[in-house]
Structure 1
Amino acid sequence: MRTLFLQAPSFDGFDGGAGSRYQARREIQSYWYPTWLAQPAALVENSKLIDAPPHKTTLADVVGQVRDFDLAVLHTSTPSFASDVKVIEAMKAENPNLKVGLIGAKVAVQSDASLAEAPIVDFVARNEFDFTIKDVADGHDWSTIKGLSYRNGSGVVMHNEDRPVMHDMDSLPFVTPVYKRDLKMENYFIGYLKHPYISFYTGRGCKSRCTFCLWPQTVGGHRYRTRSVGHVIEEVKFVLQAYPQMKELFFDDDTFTDDLPRAEAIAKELGKLGVMWSCNAKANVPRETLKVLKDGGLRLLLVGYESGNQQILHNIKKGMRIEVAEQFTKDCHELGIMIHGTFILGLPGETKETIQETIKFATRINPHTIQVSLAAPYPGTFLYKQALENGWLDAANAELINDNGIQIAPLTYPGLSHTEIFSSVEDFYKRFYFRVPKIASIVGEMVTQPDMMKRRLREGVEFFRFLRERRAVAA
């Protein structure tokens, strides 16, 4: 079947891509690659991938192409679901014969509810959906396709048996040739990565049991299933040939450092190729491994600290000790490895005091840059179950974003309202960045690296504009 893979147009500046850990507008305009769409697209011959938000592709642009396709597969999420359904309605109005299905964490765990809410959707692919979508595109009888939920000829929703979890990750084709075919790399920008960058996965799943984390609890699982070192390096070689302008490679695995010997082996091969790279890491990597990674071209680690309060880390099953994270951060500073630290406000156990504790912790360990998010109870996560059972979830804000795509604070606790949690994000950013040493560091970076001058000034304008919009939400 002629198949369109689509990340639909939605809110202006909305990073809802299938590689995004949470779907919302960012403080600084950012776009992750739609890796979870590119993977099945790589399996389906004669497919096309449209990633609308970063390419400024409008609904009219999409609708103008739908007669060229028999099948459309959209990535959706809890924040974007209603908007995505409207896009499907417009597509089917133009091409009534088009079959349309959804993939993503939301439909993986809410297949029945999603189909009930959106009668215009023909099917959803649950859990790990790559080969489920390939079977649909290849024209297999829907009743025989594992992992598929669909409407039969009478309009009755049917749920086929689950598809087994994939173990041979080398059986998946590279995603980067799809990027090269259908995407413009210069449109993908992440504030803490060098531009232009490329990102892809070398494995799926995460050993950690963090209660809020979306992908391991819905699609990827808690076993880290990896591609072989040779398979990864072959894709890196393709990237180097296809994208000579690439400044940085990012491995988007939930926790690339879950397998330390493998991470070291990949780093050694990357060092031979002269690749500058970054990855997601847990704040417990030993110094000796950090040195191997640094010697192999590692520039930056994206680290989820989440909170500076030990009890909150216990509450979310982070499996991390504050003192271990502090030593890890110290080692990174000494070895010259940059850190982009991520923090979450509004996790279970949060109080006004713990928010202040986390802000002080962040300024003390002093990562190069930070991102402050709001706790988001996605359906399918343990946090969502907790929130419902304990009455923490504000039903009026259960969609996780507002009408402009800005992340809201849907959780509230005794003594701490969702409004107070929301407002604390701005305070966090100001107290971290508006310090003399941090300002001096940023200015020094801009002065010594001319390419950073224009970039940081643009980011500053975007950041303050975003803060103004957040204040309007709070008001």
Structure 2
Amino acid sequence: MKIWILNPPYFKHFSRPQRSPAVTKSGTVYYPIWLAGCTGVLEEAGHDVTLTDAPARGYDLEYILEMSKELAPSLIVVDTSTPSINNDLTVCKRIREKLPHAFIVLVGTHASALPHETLLQCDAVNAVARKEYELTIDELAKYLCKSSWPLENGYIKNSHIEPLSSIKGLSFCALPENSTLMEPAIAEKNDNDYSTKPVILHNPDRPFIEDLDTLPWVSKIYQKHLCMEDYFNPNTLFPMATIMTSRGCPFRCSFCVYPQTITGRRFRFRSVEDVVDEMEYIQKNIPKIKAIFFEDDTMSANRKRCIALSREIIKRGIKLPWTTNSRIDPDLETLKIMKKAGCRSLCVGFESGEQRILNGMHKGTRKEKMFRFMKDAKKAGILIHGCFMVGFPGEGRSDIKKTIELSMKLKPDTVQFYPVMVYPGTEAYSEYMGKGWITAEKYENWLTPEGLHNCVVRNEALSSQKLVDICNDARREFYLRPRYIAYKLFQIIRHPSEATRTLKAFRTFFRHLGIFPKLDILSRFK
């Protein structure tokens, strides 16, 4: 079967796979890691698969429509995100006009969180594959291969409802003859006239994949289907490759979208050997790659496994430097062996300088441990990218002042300041929605007209615009300190390999925030 895996067009360099999808001020563009994994599973099953990342390549809608006619796929898998969902559905409608008999299925965070709403919104879409979707799409493809599946006004005919209802993790639209066909699934009905009105069926969830070693290596998929120079992360060397070593996150941060919509809360791991085998493959077969980004929710949380992975990297002689997401949990011993194994930097969510706010977001960290962690990271020689957010419930001006002061005292290598980003499917979204604090009228309001992050929340004390202004000024204050600029210049001199990623990030930073900043943000809080 011909299958098209599509990251649909939107803004150029719109980074749909990241936790807060947008065109970023740092120039970050994430690999479509989930789409790549699905592509690998389908190729191993013998299908003819094309993976297209339109935003990374800068392809517009007309280009994609021409591609759809040339490819003529029978199954199309389309990624989604909250800010882009209306655009994504429009893309599906336009593709449906070109390919009236193709089966179109949505995946990704937004469709997974709101499958019913999403399917009601667009009759060009046949189904949603919820949560971890590789095996759901694989099973769907197997069924479509052996069946004739004509559509009726965009909906699946009643004769196909019962077999499709056996595919776990699938939600789909259909025109059933009667209600008995809906018993294998949990049906939510739009109308009691089953014979003429569409019904949306939600099959039971698919269990999460336990043996992650059975999944194909995404690096091979990138190499075959993508231009790897299209992807950039300012926290790692360029060009880089992104892979995962685990799925799920046991921590309960209220705002984090992937554990709540895709991967779940329970840690599942690839074997150490499988991860290092893939690193070895990249080092030997993709020599242009200068670094690895481990896109786990928090790889370092399991100390024993983190040490075992580091030791295996050292044992194999892997020379690729790497970066990953981390909490403040690793101790000095762990950080030292990570550094020896090639860890050059960690992305760390410090979030707030006020313990009460940290507790409210269920972060599970203590402010005093942040300083111990930073001290140990500097001793180990690991760079830290610090993440800070503002706009939480109960957070006032004095709390935000503490957060900004904390960022200066911790002295990470780089930082990001954002208003809290809330997305459907998360506890934070439900909380803000319940309080009437979501200011966006439609999903595209999650972005500015240029595609940048937009603040869509307020709290008791601060408006959306005030939160944006504070974050912009905080970035300027942090990055344009003479001491910080001197530090960066010295870093480039000592480590020339840092020059590309640093200059690329600063060029984008200046373009979005301007060279002539308003400094002394802390005076605003006096």
Q: Which deviates more, 4-13 or 76-85? A: 4-13
Partner of 2:424: 379
How big is each residue's C-alpha offset from its partner over 1:227-265, in whole Å with a ceiling of 9 and x where there is no partner? 111111121122122211211111110000121111111
CA contact (8 A) 2:238 2:500 kept: no
Residue 459 of structure 2 corresponds to residue 413 of structure 1: yes
For 1:59-98, what per-residue CA distance to the aligned partner results, in whole angstroms no more than 9, with x for missing partners?
Answer: 2222122132111101101111011111112211111112
Matched letter for residue 459 of structure 2:
Y
1:188 to 231, 256, 264: 231
Tell me how far apart the structure 2 counterparts of residues 407 and 428 of structure 1 sit (CA, whole Å): 16
Distance 1:468 1:419, change over 3 A: same
Q: Is 1:31 equivalent to 2:29 in the alignment?
A: yes
2:23 is the counterpart of 1:21:
no
Contact between 1:397 and 1:410, CA under 8 Å: does it hold in 2?
Answer: no
d(CA) in 2 for partners of 1:400, 1:175 = 29
**Corresponding residue SS for 1:48:** strand
Aligned residues of 2:12 and 2:56 also touching (Cα < 8 A): no
* 1:152 counterpart SS class: strand
Q: Deviations over 1:299-323 (max 9, x none)?
A: 1111111111111100000000011
User: Which segment is superposed worse, 195-204 or 158-167?
Assistant: 158-167
1:310-329 pair list within 5 angstroms? 310-329=355-374
- Does residue 70 (structure 1) correspond to residue 92 (structure 2)? The answer is no
Aligned to 2:346: 301
- Gaps spanning 5+ residues in structure 2: where? 145-162, 177-197, 518-526
Q: Does 1:339 align with 2:387?
A: no
Does the aligned pair in 2 maintain the 1:6–1:73 contact within 8 Å?
Answer: yes
Q: Does 1:148 align with 2:170?
A: yes
Rg comparison, structure with higher value: 2
Opposite residue 268 of structure 1, the aligned amino acid is R
The reply on whether 1:243 has 2:286 as its aligned counterpart is yes
Does residue 204 of structure 2 align to residue 206 of structure 1?
Answer: no
- SS of alignment partner, residue 44 of structure 1: helix
Which amino acid in structure 1 is aligned with residue 166 of structure 2?
T
- Partners of 1:370 and 1:130 in 2: how far apart? 34
Residue 82 in 1 paired to residue 86 in 2?
yes
Cα shift at 1:454: 5.9
Which amino acid in structure 2 is aligned with residue 60 of structure 1? E
Counterpart among 292, 296, 300 of residue 337 in structure 2: 292
Give TM-score scaled by structure 1 length.
0.94
- 1:374–1:407 Cα contact (<8 Å) kept: no
What residue is the counterpart of 1:56 in the other structure?
A: 58
Runs of at least 5 residues in structure 1 that lack an aligned partner in the other structure: none
Q: Whole-Å Cα distance in 2 between the matches of residues 203 and 460 of structure 1?
A: 31
Q: 1:94 aligns with which of 65, 73, 98?
A: 98
In structure 2, C-alpha distance between the alignment counterparts of 1:297 and 1:383, rounded to whole Å: 35
Correspondence for 2:122: 118
Deviation at 1:119, TM superposition (A): 1.8
Q: Give me the whole-angstrom Cα distance separating, in 1, the residues matched to 2:309 and 2:351.
A: 27
Amino acid corresponding to residue 330 of structure 1 in structure 2: K
Shift in alpha-carbon separation, 1:339–1:85, aligned structure 2, 3 A: same
Distance, in Å, in 1 between the alignment partners of 2:418 and 2:12 is: 19
Mapped pair 1:424 → 2:470: yes
Match for residue 298 of structure 2 among 221, 239, 255: 255
Aligned to 1:40: 38
CA contact (8 A) 1:341 1:370 kept: yes
SS of 1:299's partner is: strand
Structure 1 residue 460: Cα displacement = 2.9
Following superposition, the deviation at residue 173 of structure 1 comes to: 1.7
* 3-state SS, counterpart of residue 385 of structure 1: helix
Q: State the shift of 1:156 in Å.
A: 2.4
Task: Measure, in 2, the Cα distance between the counterparts of 1:195 and 1:62.
Answer: 28
Instruction: Tell me the distance in 1 between the aligned counterparts of 2:5 and 2:255.
Output: 28
**C-alpha distance in structure 1 between counterparts of 2:132 and 2:12, whole Å:** 29
Report the AA paired with residue 388 of structure 2. Answer: F
Q: Deviations over 1:350-408 (max 9, x none)?
A: 21111111111001001001112221111111101111222222243664223321211
Distance 1:338 1:397 in 2: 38
TM-score by length of structure 2 reads: 0.86
Shift of 1:428: 0.8
Q: Please give the secondary structure, in 1, of the residue aligned with 2:51.
A: strand
Query: Residue deviations 1:158-207, cap 9 Å, x none?
Result: 22122122212122121111111101111111112100101111110011
SS at match of 1:157: strand
